[in-house]
Amino acid sequence: TAPILKAGNAGGIFIYIDGVAYGPVGARGTVARGISLKADDVRSSMPQAELQLIQPAQTTSTQQRADASDVND
């Protein structure tokens, strides 16, 4: 089975697969629950992120990154 994500501030969480950002995983300030980190699930359920949303000038010092590039089962 694929790893499942549960995290707060879902609007600030993006998932990278093969160098492509997807997300955010939910709305700003909400908790994301039950998000599959299987690469195919992410690609089919989330839009590719717009680059201006994730520029370093707009991020905080604590960045969270879920890399599902090698989760393909």
Q: Using the 8-state DSSP alphabet, how is residue 11 labeled?
A: G
pLDDT at residue 1, as a whole number: 81
- Give the Å distances, CA to CA, from 73 to 14, 16, 20, 28, 54: 20, 17, 19, 29, 28
Task: Flag whether pLDDT at 52 surpasses 70.
Answer: no
- Tell me which residue of 26, 37, 23, 32 sits closest to 68, measured CA to CA: 37
**Residue 18 contacts residue 45 (beta carbons within 8 Å):** no
pLDDT given for residue 61 in this prediction: 43
Averaged pLDDT of the chain: 79
